[in-house]
């Protein structure tokens, strides 16, 4: 059995076995996702060790691939789901429905039907609601089981404004309304806890805001318990980040654990957390082959076979992903722009980035692709989605086959 002991807190692109990556690209083609499930286990265990008395669940939305879910279930992780499909995929991977938590955000009717029916047969399931209306809709369906109240603490943080959920009105019930909701909920449901999620990609500079939000949610929990509620847990979500840039330092999880416990203070309820990105981000890379080199007045343009349909985070979030020339990392670096085959200026992975001098046919690796990488992949430009292989020690297996054009068009009707 492997262990997180001695495992580095972040895995840089240079740490991957370049010969093995090259062999995988030759065998399975590009673009190709490569997932290291041993690294997934290491990351989860390191995080859980920093919170020994907490309930640690994996936030499935970061990567719902069956290989990831099965790996985490094998080391005792529970699963937090944000949509019906994630509930179903977690169960298909072997999760006990009684251990699942469903965090509904404006849930469509079909999603709520499925969750309510699932909870009726599995009373351990917890449904988290972020609107009074969602509680009413659950009651209309005859659901009277376990629920949690999602709090909007009014404080958001993270790597981009689009992920600062703690101050976005879309997410959760405003903090000043939570006590009233908590007084009403026990008449119809079994109130199990409070939930809040501040944002995503939290690193050291974001910890102060993150902890202020935790303090606010913990104070609410104490207020509600003083009014007679018996809370089982206070769930402070996930959001803990990994360094995407080479000059960023990883979180010291022992220190983070101390900061979080200090911010939460004394609670009768158990602390719960939902890491997603932290567990999977540095456990996966994308391999892509250079097909075009073009000298332009402003820069050298490097064309590759991956695109924003393969990895949309740079286009969607302005996200930085490290890029390395796997074929010849020893060559002198040149500033380049790397882009894919899509007919939009948004299809660019980087501009003016030093990369070991690229040549047509070279293999590039794009790092930290495990979180919201394949999850956000699309078929834009009628591009079939890439294959995904997992490695675990010496073992290699295809966990998602490469799509074909028939897969792209299969749902169309004449």
Predicted pLDDT of residue 207: 84
User: Considering the domain boundaries, does residue 29 fall inside one?
Assistant: no
Cα distances (angstroms) measured from residue 96 to each of 148, 273, 275: 19, 19, 19
Q: How confident is the model at residue 200 (pLDDT cuts 50, 70, 90)?
A: low
State the Cα–Cα distance between residues 393 and 175, nearest whole angstrom: 47
* 237 lies in the same domain as 319: no
pLDDT tens-digit series, residues 30-84: 999 999 999 999 999 999 999 999 999 999 999 999 999 999 999 999 999 999 9
What number of other Cβ atoms are within 10 A of residue 88's Cβ? 15
Active site residue 343: yes
User: Considering the domain boundaries, does residue 250 fall inside one?
Assistant: yes
Encode 109-125 in three state secondary structure: HHHHHHHHHHHHHCCCC
User: Considering the domain boundaries, does residue 3 fall inside one?
Assistant: no
Among 247, 275, 303, give the residue marking a domain's end.
Answer: 275
State the Cα–Cα distance between residues 59 and 62, nearest whole angstrom: 6
Q: Between 162 and 276, name the one with better pLDDT.
A: 276
CATH number of the domain to which 379 belongs: 2.40.37.10
Predicted pLDDT of residue 376: 97
| Burial class of 38 by CB neighbour count within 10 A (0 to 12, 13 to 18, 19+) | middle
Mean pLDDT of 346-366: 97
Q: One of 211, 342, 343, 350 is an active-site residue; which one?
A: 343
* 312 lies in the same domain as 176: no
Beta-bridge partner residues of 322: none
Mean pLDDT of 233-245: 93
User: Considering the domain boundaries, does residue 370 fall inside one?
Assistant: yes
Q: What is the pTM of this model?
A: 0.93
Cα distances (angstroms) measured from residue 359 to each of 16, 58, 118, 303, 328: 21, 40, 54, 10, 9
State the Cα–Cα distance between residues 299 and 353, nearest whole angstrom: 10
State the Cα–Cα distance between residues 258 and 71, nearest whole angstrom: 27
State the Cα–Cα distance between residues 108 and 92, nearest whole angstrom: 21
* 244 lies in the same domain as 287: no
* 107 lies in the same domain as 218: yes
Q: How confident is the model at residue 199 (pLDDT cuts 50, 70, 90)?
A: confident
Nearest to 32 by CA among 386, 295, 394, 269: 386
């Amino acid at each position: 059995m492997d262990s997180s002991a001695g495992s580095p807190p972040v895995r840089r692109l240079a740490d991957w076995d370049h010969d093995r990556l090259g062999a995988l690209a030759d065998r399975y083609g590009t673009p190709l996702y490569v997932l290291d499930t041993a690294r997934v286990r290491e990351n989860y265990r390191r995080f859980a060790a920093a919170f020994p008395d907490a309930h640690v669940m994996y936030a499935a939305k970061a990567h719902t691939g069956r290989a990831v879910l099965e790996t985490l279930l094998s080391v005792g992780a529970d699963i937090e789901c944000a949509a019906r499909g994630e509930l179903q995929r977690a169960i298909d991977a072997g999760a006990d429905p009684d251990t699942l938590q469903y965090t509904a955000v404006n849930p469509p009717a079909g999603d709520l039907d499925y969750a309510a029916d699932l909870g009726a047969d599995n009373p351990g399931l917890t449904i988290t609601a972020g609107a009074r209306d969602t509680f009413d809709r659950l009651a209309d369906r005859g659901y009277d089981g376990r629920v949690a109240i999602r709090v909007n603490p009014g404080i958001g943080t993270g790597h981009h404004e689009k992920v600062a959920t703690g101050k976005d009105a879309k997410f959760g019930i405003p903090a000043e309304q939570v006590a009233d909701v908590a007084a009403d909920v026990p008449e119809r449901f079994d109130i199990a806890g409070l939930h809040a999620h501040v944002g995503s990609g939290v690193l050291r500079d974001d910890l102060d805001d993150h902890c202020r939000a935790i303090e606010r949610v913990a104070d609410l929990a104490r207020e509600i318990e003083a009014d007679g509620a018996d809370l089982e847990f206070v769930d402070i979500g996930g959001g803990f980040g990994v360094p995407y840039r080479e000059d960023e330092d990883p979180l010291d999880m022992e220190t983070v654990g101390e900061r979080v416990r200090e911010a939460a203070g004394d609670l009768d309820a158990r602390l719960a957390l939902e890491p997603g990105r932290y567990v999977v981000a540095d456990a996966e890379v994308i391999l892509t082959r250079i097909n075009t080199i073009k000298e332009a007045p402003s820069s050298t343009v490097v064309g590759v076979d991956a695109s924003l349909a393969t990895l949309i985070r740079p286009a969607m979030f302005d996200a930085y992903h490290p890029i390395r020339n796997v074929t010849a990392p020893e060559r002198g670096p040149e500033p380049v722009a790397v882009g894919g085959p899509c007919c939009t200026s948004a299809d660019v992975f980087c501009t003016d980035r030093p990369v070991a001098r690229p040549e047509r046919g070279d293999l590039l690796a794009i790092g930290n692709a495990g979180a919201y990488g394949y999850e956000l992949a699309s078929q834009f430009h009628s591009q079939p989605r890439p294959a995904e292989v997992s490695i675990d020690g010496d073992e290699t297996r295809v966990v998602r086959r490469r799509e074909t054009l028939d897969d792209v068009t299969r749902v169309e009707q004449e």
